[in-house]
Structure 1
Amino acid sequence: MDNIHNMVIVGAGPAGIATAVESYILGIRDIVLLEKDQNHNATIRKYYKDNKRVDKDWKGQKVELDGNIYFMDGTKESTLDFFDEIIAHHFVELRTHTEVQKVVKKDDYFEVMIPGGSIKARFVVVTIGRMGKPNKPDYKIPATIKKRVNYTIDECSEGEKILVVGGGDSAVEYAVDLSEKNDVTICYRRETFRRANPTNRDAIANAIAHNEVRPYLGTNIEGLEDDNGKVRVIFAEREPETFDRVIYAIGGTTPSAFLTGSGIRIEDGKPVHDENYMTDIPGLYVAGDITQESGGSIALGLNHGYAIAQHILKNIQNA
């Protein structure tokens, strides 16, 4: 544990993997990639439904790839296979089940604090995503129904009456997918699904037109109650209604406590960094969706990794 690694990367999503792989291609060695979950790309595994489309140009945002990782449109499954392959082919050391508590700057290295100890590194790249901390409603959820209030569709069973809350791609995809075997309502505070991509907007419009999904648009939720083990939803604009399950798909939150605890300055909800994604602390970088305005672009995350790898190599050569 006293060994000082060249680089520690916190978070094994696209940006973290890209940073490791691009650095390896440039000849940098002794790189450690840390992931608190049981495998890389936990957000894709948890929050993407099976066979979900994964586009390089996320939400129509055209991105030219800068580095050596050639990412193409695919599905949830093909994307995970793709990252499996590039990790295996570039000898990236991936340590899973390792949750980082904070990053501490020393004189000429960093200590990455983990339960029971620390890992030392000359450079640290933080690529944890927003969906590691999914947004939750402001109102309190009664303890007796917490198992019926979820943030993915993993717990859903066939034949349930389900309320999906949200208006983005995940919410729309959940609602359409669940409607095949369930009674589904989608609740969104706005009148249209303008946040969703065109394909998903067409899918939800078709589902609503065929009475497969019931829309509660322009509708706000004021709270949840226990109704004999089911979830009674208190709406602001309509009468209360009881559901077997409620799924919240309302995005994720910037991990502000972790970032500020590691000395990273935050402005307008995002970590402050320069054009090389380095923070105010020399040698400490940020990448991925925590740096993006709307988050979620795999292609941009890959480009972040390439830029960081190039900058770290220059720092190593100039040391």
Structure 2
Amino acid sequence: MPFDPAVIAYALSALPKLPFDSAALAYLLPALPIWMSYRARYRATERKSHMILEDAREAGLTEPSSLHPVIDTAKCVGCSACVLACPEGDVLGLLEGKATLIDPTRCIGHGACEQACPADALSLVFGTATRGVDIPFVSPDFETNVPGIYLAGEIGGMGLIRNAVKQGSEAVDAIAAANESEGADDMLDLMIVGAGPAGIAASLRAMELGLRFETVEQDSLGGTVAHFPRNKLIMTAPVKLPLYGELRFREIRKEALLGIWEDVIERTGLHIRCNERVAEVTSAGGGFTIRTAHGVYRARRVLLAIGRRGTPRKLGVPGEERSNVVYRLTDPAQYVGQRVLVVGGGDSAIEAAVALAEQPGTEVTLSYRRDAFSRTRRQNRSAIEAAVAADRVTLYLQSSVEEVSNGSVSLRHRGERLDLANDHVIVCAGGELSTGFLHSMGIRVERRFGTAGPGAVIDPADSAKAPDLKAA
């Protein structure tokens, strides 16, 4: 391979001045192309990291929503081990020779970056100095400050399926040990709320231990995973599921994972009461009364495996209870040839509108209450602009839904009422976190502003200070 003498001269001039040694120079010259190639790749990678960071800042997506790393730049050696370890890709990058969180909202709290760092320069924390994250107090055995109520899974701040499965199983072990000293009565041993990975694992472990229990889920099997976009890649790590066996995958698509949960139900005979939302949990006669949309249960212990998605945010307008109003897009193909209104201005709403616009004969309208999109990624803003320009999506900014009727929907757009022909309404307005539900049971929640740990550990003596349970 021929070398450009000018390039070699420049590279030599950048090296430290050392006493001339012809033997050293003979070894040095062949290494120059390798070093220069490395520098070129490094600069290209750094430029890409700068672009991703600027895109996140421009979109206002700078606050991580989950457990995430903070980097001690004094310790960071710039080896990029953390960057390579991240399963999501392009969440961390190297800028000016130091690891940097370049796409914060895409961090899933995997923790592989912290483990990969050879210099102990990363710490995992909840929240930032400007954005707090609500984390409930739990003891080492997953019991909250309210004796008899336990938490497991994402609600405690830890994402990742492996964490949820382990916590669900271990929480039931602790509950079973606590139940051993109590005599049998007409109450269930355990009520499990939620059928995501933590709830499924807890239910299987309860079956394995012979506990009397029920599991309810406000939506469908799979919990938060069921609400992910179609074909979303989900990261985890191998883990053992009680009564089922080892889940060996490290990455899996949403549909395949939901298929595994269905296989678990079929092979184990586990019964889960789906579409049954818990309205309140109150203390009663040495246990708890759990009121749902379909009945009343009594149990000695309650395990909350409800995730952090919470309840979808409602519009609060007449007609919202109609069956054609939903709060997520699962399969765009089911809306072929339909008239669909999407409500929202975040990435999920824009992605839903664009996906629907690609379906044959589908008429798509997007309604957003603000005058411009905020906290959305550049590629999504470009995609919706292109869809609007091509007349595939009708966009109404500064608009809100006033009423949903049979075959139509009414919008208030810049002070004027618009009545649009409509078959379906998809609301992508986020969710209301479960903090209020936890407070209604007396569970203490701490708002973390950049502090570490998967959940505060409380002194057992503090349990006596827990407030009485009250109705939601």
Q: Which moved more, 1:161-170 or 1:260-269?
A: 260-269
**Match 1:261 to one of 434, 440, 448:** 440
Runs of 4+ with >6 A deviation? 276-280
User: Are 1:248 and 2:427 an aligned pair?
Assistant: yes
Instruction: Find the counterpart in structure 2 of residue 300 from structure 1.
Output: none
The match for 1:10 among 193, 196, 203 is 193
Structure-2 separation of matches of 1:145 and 1:72: 39
Unmatched runs of 5 consecutive residues or more in structure 1: 58-63, 285-319
Deviation, structure 1 residue 171: 1.6
The aligned residue for residue 34 of structure 1 is 215
Tell me by how many angstroms 1:32 deviates. Answer: 3.2
What is the distance in 1 between the residues matched to 2:195 and 2:458? 17
Q: Kindly provide the amino acid, as one letter, of the partner of residue 184 in structure 1.
A: V
Output the amino acid matched with 1:54: K
**SS in structure 2 of the partner of residue 17 of structure 1:** helix
Which residue of the other structure, out of 370, 392, 395, is the alignment partner of 1:212?
392
1:137-175 CA-partner distances (Å, limit 9, x unpaired)? 35xx24499566543458985444433121334323321
Q: Which runs of 5+ in 2 are unaligned?
A: 1-183, 241-246, 449-453, 467-472
Give yes or no for contact 1:134–1:250 (8 Å, CA) kept in 2. yes
Matches within 5 A, 1:270-289: 274-275=455-456
Partner of 2:173: none
Name which of 390, 393, 412 aligns with 1:234: 412
Taking structure 1 as reference, are residues 159 and 99 closer, same or farther at Cα in structure 2, changes over 3 Å only? closer
- C-alpha separation between the residues in 2 aligned to 1:86 and 1:8? 20
Q: CA 1:89/1:193 → structure 2, altered by over 3 Å: closer, same or farther?
A: farther
Go from structure 1 to structure 2 and tell me whether the alpha carbon gap of 1:16 and 1:215 turns closer, same or farther (over 3 Å shift). Answer: same
2:359 is aligned with 1:183? no
8 Å CA contact 2:238, 2:248 repeated in 1 = no
| Aligned with 1:79 (options 257, 266, 288) | 257
Return closer, same or farther for 1:276/1:144 CA change in 2, 3 Å cut-off.
closer
**How far off is 1:48 after superposition?**
5.4
Contact 1:11 1:127 in 2 (8 A): yes
Of 278, 298, 323, which residue of structure 2 is paired with 1:119?
Answer: 298
1:4 shift after superposition: 5.3
Mapped partners of 1:84, 1:15: distance in 2: 15
Matches within 5 A, 1:30-109: 30=211, 32-36=213-217, 39-41=220-222, 45=226, 47=227, 52-56=230-234, 65=237, 67-68=239-240, 69-70=247-248, 72-88=250-266, 92-96=270-274, 98-105=276-283, 109=287
For 1:98 and 1:224, the matched residues in 2 are separated by 28
Query: In 1, distance between residues paired with 2:254 and 2:421?
Result: 28
Distance 2:224 2:188 in 1: 27
Aligned equivalents of 2:212, 2:380: Cα separation in 1 = 39
Letter in 1 for 2:419: T
Residue 265 of structure 1, CA deviation:
3.6
1:38 and 1:225 map into 2 onto residues whose CA distance is 25
Distance apart, 1:12 and its partner CA: 1.0
Q: Is the 8 A contact 1:161 1:243 kept in 2?
A: no
One-letter amino acid of the counterpart of residue 82, structure 1: I
Deviation at 1:205, TM superposition (A): 5.9
Q: Deviations over 1:1-26 (max 9, x none)?
A: 935555431111233224445x469x
Amino acid at match of 1:32: F
Contact preservation (8 Å) 1:186, 1:214: yes
Query: Which sits farther off after the overlay, 149-158 or 206-215?
Result: 149-158
Q: Which residue of 2 aligns with 1:137?
A: 315
Identical positions, percent: 29
Alpha-carbon spacing, 1:117–1:159, altered in 2? closer, same or farther (3 Å): closer
In structure 2, how many angstroms separate the alpha carbons of the residues matched to 1:199 and 1:12?
A: 34
Secondary structure at the counterpart of residue 185 of structure 1: strand
Other-structure match for 2:136 = none
CA distance in 1, matches of 2:279, 2:459: 20
Q: Which amino acid aligns with 2:199?
A: G
TM-score by length of 1: 0.59
CA RMSD of aligned residues (A): 4.7
With over 3 angstroms needed to count, the CA separation of the structure-2 counterparts of 1:92 and 1:249, relative to structure 1, is same
In 1: Cα distance, 2:224 partner to 2:305 partner: 12
The number of residue pairs the alignment matches comes to 262
Cα displacement string for residues 163-200 of structure 1 (whole angstroms, at most 9, x for unaligned residues): 3121334323321232123222323337346446x886
Please tell me whether the aligned partners of residues 193 and 216 of structure 2 are also in contact (alpha carbons under 8 angstroms).
yes
Distance 1:96 1:277 in 2: 33
Q: Distance in 2 between the 1:220 and 1:9 partners?
A: 42
CA contact (8 A) 2:346 2:373 kept: no
2:327 to 142, 151, 165: 151
What is the deviation of 1:82?
1.7
Partner letter of residue 297 of structure 2?
S
In structure 1, what is the Cα distance between the partners aligned to 2:376 and 2:399?
19
Q: Give SS of 2:355's match.
A: helix
Q: 1:106 to 1:136 in 2, by over 3 A?
A: closer
**SS of corresponding position for 2:431:** coil
Classify 1:203/1:103 alpha carbon distance in 2 versus 1 (closer, same or farther; 3 Å).
same
Contact 1:56 1:73 in 2 (8 A): yes
Query: Secondary structure at the residue paired with 1:94?
Result: coil
After superposition, the Cα gap between the structure-2 partners of 1:127 and 1:76, relative to the gap in structure 1 and judged at 3 Å, is same
